[in-house]
Amino acid sequence: MPELPEVETVRRQLKEKLNNRIIKKVIIYYNDIISYPKIEEFKKQISNQKINDIKRRGKWLIFELDSYYLLSHLRMEGKYFFKKSSEVRNKHEHVVFILDNDVELRYHDTRKFGKMYLIEKDKINLIGPLIKLGLEPWDSNLDINYLKDKFKNKKLPIKAVLLDQSIIVGIGNIYADEILFLSEISPFKRACDLDDNQLRQIIENTKITLDKAIKLGGSTIHSYTSVDGMDGKFQNELLVHKDKSLCPNCKNEIKKVFIKGRGTYYCDKCQKL
Ligand SMILES: [Zn+2]
């Protein structure tokens, strides 16, 4: 599944090619990708809208059009490709945006879990999936007091709580393990029991880990590739989230456990409970 750094990489690549392009029309081959509004309205509203910018919130890509925001979530396997209109459609290309330069932006999704919303600009804080998202890792409001407040009633292991997108967006399973290792915090520690210094460590190491992942183009685990087929290099740099490895600090064997069903890697010497 693409995580925040991969989505950010996709955003940058799309923005380079799409700024100021006009969507002439859209053809939808698999209706369930479109969550809102109804298919016919979606098609009508998006026609002849210009793409003024492409932003990101959490793992949502946000195409800023003239009157609407087009939100796109890649979920497990979603990818975007640019193709000439003469190129035969691949069977996994479910939504085709016809642009004003004889190029098509094609949304490709083998699992068909991806979702799109088209929302009027003045309703973006009222409806749709962005309203329940937490802070971005780089938001200046993300500080110790914010986390203290969010964690105070959370008796779950910090590993599980870091994945909660209503607190901080964009920390996926791999990144949570890396952040906790850098912070020397056991993934089993209850979120409500963390002290100020540990909260500070989590905030700092979240930024460090995601910055590094974005710089390296995200991590390519499973079948994820970005628009140009560029593979992420972050997976070569993982400290603990990998099988049968030794702790880079103490050479202890890295343990693999499951926390709330998610594979979790950690060093039980450096990350004591
Ligand atoms: Zn260690």
Determine which one of 21, 207, 256, 262 is catalytic.
262
Q: What pTM value is reported for the model?
A: 0.82
Cα dihedral 107/43/45/124 (nearest 10)? -50
Q: In this structure, what token pair is assigned to residue 113?
A: 């879990």
3 catalytic residue (yes or no): yes
Task: For residue 9, give the 3-state DSSP assignment.
Answer: helix
DSSP assignments along 205-219, one per residue? HHHHHHHHHHHTT--
Mean pLDDT of the chain: 91
Q: Is the dihedral of CA 255, 178, 268, 260 positive or negative?
A: negative
* Cα–Cα distance for residue pair 35/258, rounded to 1 Å: 32
Tens of pLDDT, residue by residue over 166-184, are 999 989 898 999 999 999 9
Locate tokens 């799109």: which residue?
A: 116
> What phi, psi does 118 have (nearest 5°)?
-120, 110
Q: Does domain 144-266 have CATH number 1.10.8.50?
A: yes
Q: What ranges do the domains of the chain cover?
A: 4-132, 144-266
Q: In this structure, what token pair is assigned to residue 114?
A: 């991806």
Tens of pLDDT, residue by residue over 86-142, are 999 999 999 999 999 989 999 999 999 999 999 999 999 899 999 999 999 999 999
Contact indicator for 102, 84 with CB cutoff of 8 Å: yes
Cα dihedral 122/123/124/129 (nearest 10)? -170
Average pLDDT over residues 155-171: 95
255 or 232, which is more confident:
255
262 catalytic residue (yes or no): yes
Q: Please, which residues have CB less than 5 A from ligand 1, an ion?
A: 247, 249-250, 252, 267, 269-270
111 catalytic residue (yes or no): no
Identify the CA nearest to 187 among candidates 174, 197, 202, 177.
Answer: 177
As a CATH number, domain 4-132 is: 3.20.190.10
Same fold, 4-132 and 144-266: no
Determine which one of 57, 59, 79, 115 is catalytic.
59
Q: In this structure, what token pair is assigned to residue 218?
A: 């995200």
> What phi, psi does 103 have (nearest 5°)?
-115, 150
Q: In this structure, what token pair is assigned to residue 247?
A: 């702790």
Q: How confident is the model at residue 204 (pLDDT cuts 50, 70, 90)?
A: very high
